[in-house]
Amino acid sequence: MKSYDLIVIGSGPAGEKAAVKAAYFGNTVALIEKEQAFGGAGVQTGTLPSKTLKETALYLSGIYQKGVFGIDKDLGRETGIQDFMYRKNIVVNTMDKIIKYNLEKHGVTVFQGTASFIDKNHVKISGETSETIYGKYILIATGSYPYHPKNIPFDNERIHDSDSILNIKKFPKSICVLGAGVIGCEYATIFAAMGIKTYIVNNKDEILTFLDKEISKALVTQMKKRNISILFNNSIVDYHIPDDPDQNLNLTLESGEILQVDSFLFAAGRSGNIKLLQCENAGIKTGDRETIIVNEMFQSNIPNIYAVGDTIGFPALASTSMEQGRIAVTHMFKTADLESLADIFPYGIYTIPEVSLIGLTEEKAKENGIDYNVGYSYYRDISRGMIMGYPDNGFLKLIFESKTKIVIGVHIIGHHATELIHYGMAIIREKHTLSHIIGTVFNYPTLHNLYKYASYDGLGNLAGKKIKKAGEQFIP
């Protein structure tokens, strides 16, 4: 029987990074993947395809060029679905090859097949042939899948989840998205940018509840401007698919109304991918939504078995999954180079416009009894924003402690927000003050000047002395 220091199950962001790190430090590593294509939701069905489609929608619709040249490109309506999917397919196929190459270069032995536990050290691989291998340590990195509520008749033709939506053969004439979480909001803005009438049905009275309220409201305003209708405090209780593919779906809302749309996308949650593993054979403790229960070093109740990424639940991001994989390996093999997950990490929401945050929201600061103040700056306040055509009326909001002026939260809505946030992360991790930001020289003109303007605005708010209000200097 083949024997390894580590068996990794799953080739998504968590599994790949863990496998190559363990191999780099001289351990024998096997990785088992059930799909032909590697990369999991990170590469094949989630992060990268959706981000590429967003970039494509921006390019084809010309949304960010309209403010610069004042012209409406209106390409979306003339574009075929092949054009829309073209770049996505290139990115996904290339990343698949890159992962396989990375594993090969590190000397990781790859097995194609479905992994299941025989006991705490033996894993069976069922594929074209069947084989059992031994691992001193085992890392579960099997990710998650879109949860399928029983009452939704998924057909992958008109009723989709976030996997099947990537294989559509024509643009929907209109679409209803269920769930205003990250997946729902991202896809809704992508379809709307392509000129498709889009509805979101959400069972709460707000979207993306973890955002600073002001930012989430600003995103709702931007979505409405782009012809997205959001039906709050509502859900769908019945789905009728007519025989005639040219007729609309009839979706019966909880409120009693019927919503007629061409297509439907379910985006209201995911569950851990652990069914096939037969965790009971190894005595591994599992939790809600098919997750594996782990400690802070990502170790399950069975000491030689670890689990990372979506399969352990929150925060279920590609960004954090990779780090969890590396930390688990540090702990197993005592490489002593990465002790724990960073105490704070950013969220990047790739809606149009993008949203990103790090640190506390205003609501959280209030709840924690912190004496805080805020400062704002608008893209339209700064030269780079002007050059870019004031995209999305975006803004940056700084939250800082009134007494020390130390920044405790950064929230951005607008173009490139997911890139801009990283300076905010450095400020918060280093406990920098508004004065520190003001005393920093940035390239000019750049969007980073948003930080400086927001700091001046914050100081003005603190002193009760403001010459100009944030956003006021805009002369249309």
Ligand X SMILES: NC(=O)c1ccc[n+]([C@@H]2O[C@H](COP(=O)([O-])OP(=O)(O)OC[C@H]3O[C@@H](n4cnc5c(N)ncnc54)[C@H](O)[C@@H]3O)[C@@H](O)[C@H]2O)c1
Binding site residues, ligand X, CB under 6 A: 178-184, 186, 201-204, 235, 267-270, 315-317, 348-350
Q: Closest Cα to residue 431, out of 407, 453, 400?
A: 407
Q: Which does 96 bind (CB under 5 to 8 A by kind): ligand FAD, ligand X, none?
A: none
Interface pick for ligand FAD out of 262, 290, 310, 362 (rule CB under 6 A): 310
Say which residue the tokens 């009760």 belong to. Answer: 464
Q: Which does 203 bind (CB under 5 to 8 A by kind): ligand X, ligand FAD, none?
A: ligand X
Interface pick for ligand FAD out of 162, 234, 351, 393 (rule CB under 6 A): 162
Q: How far is the CB of 279 from ligand FAD (least distance, A)?
A: 10
The helix (H) or strand (E) run that includes residue 400 is: strand 395-401
Q: Which does 269 bind (CB under 5 to 8 A by kind): ligand FAD, ligand X, none?
A: ligand X
Torsion of CA 346, 350, 354, 360, to 10 degrees: -20
Q: Do residues 372 and 401 make contact, with C-beta atoms less than 8 angstroms apart?
A: yes
Q: Which does 181 bind (CB under 5 to 8 A by kind): ligand FAD, ligand X, none?
A: ligand X
Q: How many CB atoms lie within 10 A of CB 155?
A: 12
Classify residue 221 by burial, with Cβ atoms within 10 Å: 0-12, 13-18, 19+.
exposed
Classify residue 428 by burial, with Cβ atoms within 10 Å: 0-12, 13-18, 19+.
buried
Q: Which does 142 bind (CB under 5 to 8 A by kind): ligand X, ligand FAD, none?
A: ligand FAD
User: What is d(CA 116, CA 282) in angstroms, rounded to the nearest whole number?
Assistant: 10
The residue type at 379: Y
Phi, psi of 119 (to 5 degrees): -155, -165
Phi, psi of 186 (to 5 degrees): -60, -50
Interface pick for ligand FAD out of 20, 21, 23, 50 (rule CB under 6 A): 50
Q: Which stretch binds ligand FAD (CB under 6 A): 8-16, 87-95, 190-198, 448-456?
A: 8-16
Q: Which does 14 bind (CB under 5 to 8 A by kind): ligand FAD, ligand X, none?
A: ligand FAD
**Residue nearer to ligand FAD on the CB measure, 261 or 318:** 318
**Conformational region of residue 273, where left means phi above 0, alpha means psi within -120 to 50, and beta covers everything else:** beta
User: What is d(CA 284, CA 65) in angstroms, rounded to the nearest whole number?
Assistant: 53
Q: How far is the CB of 76 from ligand FAD (least distance, A)?
A: 21
52 binds ligand FAD (CB under 6 A): no
User: What is d(CA 35, CA 38) in angstroms, rounded to the nearest whole number?
Assistant: 7
Q: How far is the CB of 131 from ligand FAD (least distance, A)?
A: 13
Q: How far is the CB of 179 from ligand X (least distance, A)?
A: 3
Q: Which stretch binds ligand FAD (CB under 6 A): 218-226, 248-256, 313-321, 360-368?
A: 313-321
**Residue nearer to ligand X on the CB measure, 121 or 361:** 361
Q: Which does 172 bind (CB under 5 to 8 A by kind): ligand FAD, ligand X, none?
A: none
Q: Which stretch binds ligand FAD (CB under 6 A): 56-64, 65-73, 270-278, 328-336?
A: 270-278
Phi, psi of 397 (to 5 degrees): -125, 125
Binding footprint of ligand FAD on the chain (CB under 6 A): 9-15, 32-35, 40-42, 46-47, 50-51, 114-115, 141-144, 162, 183, 273, 276-277, 309-311, 316-319, 321, 350
